[in-house]
Amino acid sequence: MALEDAKTKIDDAFTREDPRGLSYENAFAGATSFLRRKYTKDLRGFDVAVTGVPFDQAVTHRTGTRFGPRAIREASTLQPYDPPYGWGFDPLSEFAVADYGDLAFDYAKVWEFPAALQAHVAGILAQDVGTVVLGGDHFVTLPILRAHVEKHGPLALIQFDAHSDTWQDDDMERIDHGTFVYKAAKLGLIDVDRSVQIGIRTVCDDHCGIHVIDAAEVHRTGPEAVAEKVRGIVGDAKAYLTFDIDCLDPAFAPGTGTPVWGGLSSAQAATILRGLAGVNLTGGDVVEVSPPFDHGGITAVAGAHVAMEILCLWGWTRRAG
């Protein structure tokens, strides 16, 4: 079946009729939607929408994450041949997943961007469809959180990151990828008692009361113990997961704006993510993939796998049985 499909299938992003199921289109050919899902703005009959946010005007160092969604989509074409390893279910066959395309915005009117993104995500959620977002720099998480909180109320935040992003900034109009968690906490968007940061390895004097599992603790105690600790912190709260790719060590993700040594390996991150199965996830994002600084596309590959893991986590509590 796979061989026959590879001989005849092309551009599943536009031609596929059934939104469910694996895809056997040649990985090196065709339109590069995320996981070969159908590009559509019509979400009737869909369960979850993947959308890109090509924005990098909030960075403090290297730009380039505006190209992240495109690179992650391209890297994802290696994945839809088989169910994701280690999960025991196939989210692509169980759920109707759409590639909703990217957010449109005026790059020259940066001050309009937060409201545009919030409305974009809110429009998806209003249709009772989940979201997985491909960034973009990490500022994008703040407008996304606002949209999720409008629908679900304050959320637990599960943050994978080298940086806490809680540097003090009481000007809520500033657009900065290093202060969005501080603002989310001060605005009451997140329940800090149920929130946790994983992989931190930079100094910040104020974590806003959020639990911190730094990279050293991950290395010392192991990813299984970390996943168990995170589940204990989050409990049964509704949660949002954001994964800054610089949580990974630069050896595994060089293509990012603010790389920091001593980070997680891709294997550690995968084990933690899979160990979070059962968390009540409303949605998630993977951000800070910067293709201009990538080598061999390995950061984009990592980003594509993280996005698939977020999809699995979202689907785990909603799967049949």
Q: List residues forming the annotated binding site for Mn(2+).
A: 138, 161, 163, 165, 244, 246
Tokens of 157: 């935040």
Phi-psi region of 247 (alpha: psi -120 to 50; beta: other; left: phi over 0): alpha
Residue 156, H or E segment = strand 156-160
Strand partners, 243: 160, 286
Tokens of 257: 């704006």
Q: What are phi and psi of 288, to 5 degrees?
A: 70, 20
Contact 65, 290 (CB under 8 A): yes
Nearest by Cα to 152 from 15, 257, 283, 321: 283
The upper half-sphere exposure of residue 101, i.e. CA atoms within 13 Å in the direction of its Cβ, equals 10
CA distance 148 to 3: 41
Q: At 32, which amino acid appears?
A: T
- Can you give the length of the chain in residues? 321
Neighbours of 204 (CB within 10 A): 18
CA distance 272 to 229: 10
Residue 283, H or E segment = strand 280-287
Residue 101, H or E segment = strand 97-102
Burial class (CB in 10 A: 0-12, 13-18, 19+), 222: middle
SS3 170: coil
Q: List residues forming the annotated binding site.
A: 138, 161, 163, 165, 244, 246
Neighbours of 167 (CB within 10 A): 16
